A = this chain, B = another copy of it.
Amino acid sequence: MTLIYLDNNTTAPPSPEVIRAMTPLLTTYWGSPMTPHQKGEELYPFLSKFYTTIYTCLGAQPNDQLVITSSGAEAVTHVISSIYRDVTLATGKNQFITSQLDEAASIMTITHLEPFGCVGKMGETMNGIISIEKLANSLSPRTALVSLSLANGLTGVVQPISEIATLCKERGIRLHVDITHAFGKLDCQFETLGVDYLTLHGEQIHGPRGVGILLVKQGIQCSPLIFGSADQGGMRAGSIPMANLAGIACALEEAIENRDFLCTETARLRNQLERGILKGFPSASVCFKKQERVPHCTTIFFPGIANESLLFSLHRKGICATIGGGNFQQLGILLSSAGIQQPLANQAISFSLSRYTTEEEIERAIPLIVESAKTLSSLSYPSFSIA
Contact = CB atoms under 8 A, between A and B. Distances in A.
Interface of A: 3, 5, 7, 10-11, 13-14, 19, 22, 26-27, 30-32, 34-39, 69-74, 76-77, 89, 103-105, 108-109, 112, 115, 201, 203, 208-212, 223, 225-231, 237-244, 311-312, 314-315, 318-322, 325-328
24 contacts: A11-B30, A11-B31, A11-B35, A19-B27, A26-B209, A32-B203, A32-B326, A34-B326, A36-B315, A38-B318, A73-B229, A77-B226, A77-B228, A104-B237, A105-B228, A108-B237, A109-B227, A201-B238, A203-B239, A209-B239, A209-B240, A210-B238, A237-B327, A239-B326
State how many copies of this chain the complex holds. 2
B11 A228 contact: no
Given A70-B210, A209-B239, A241-B210, A326 B112 contact: no
Given A10-B32, A35-B7, A89 B73 contact: no
A112 B228 CA distance: 10
A44 to B, nearest CB: 14
A69 B71 CA distance: 11
A34 B7 CA distance: 12
Give 4 nearest A-B pairs by CB, closest first: A210-B241, A71-B238, A105-B228, A70-B70
A94 to B, nearest CB: 15
Nearest to A202: B241
Which of A208, A225, A227, A237 has the most chain B CB atoms closer than 10 A to its own CB? A227
Given A37-B315, A71-B239, A227 B105 contact: yes
Most buried by B among A37, A73, A112, A203: A37
B10 A35 contact: yes
A103 B229 CA distance: 9
B71 A39 contact: no
A354 to B, nearest CB: 12
A22 B238 CA distance: 20
B108 A227 contact: yes
B209 A38 contact: no
A74 B37 contact: no
Contacts of A210: 70, 210-211, 238, 240-241, 243-244
Contact of A38 (B10, B34, B69, B320): B320
A187 to B, nearest CB: 26
Contacts of A103: 228
Nearest to A70: B70
A150 B94 CA distance: 40
Contact of A26 (B19, B105, B227, B229): B19
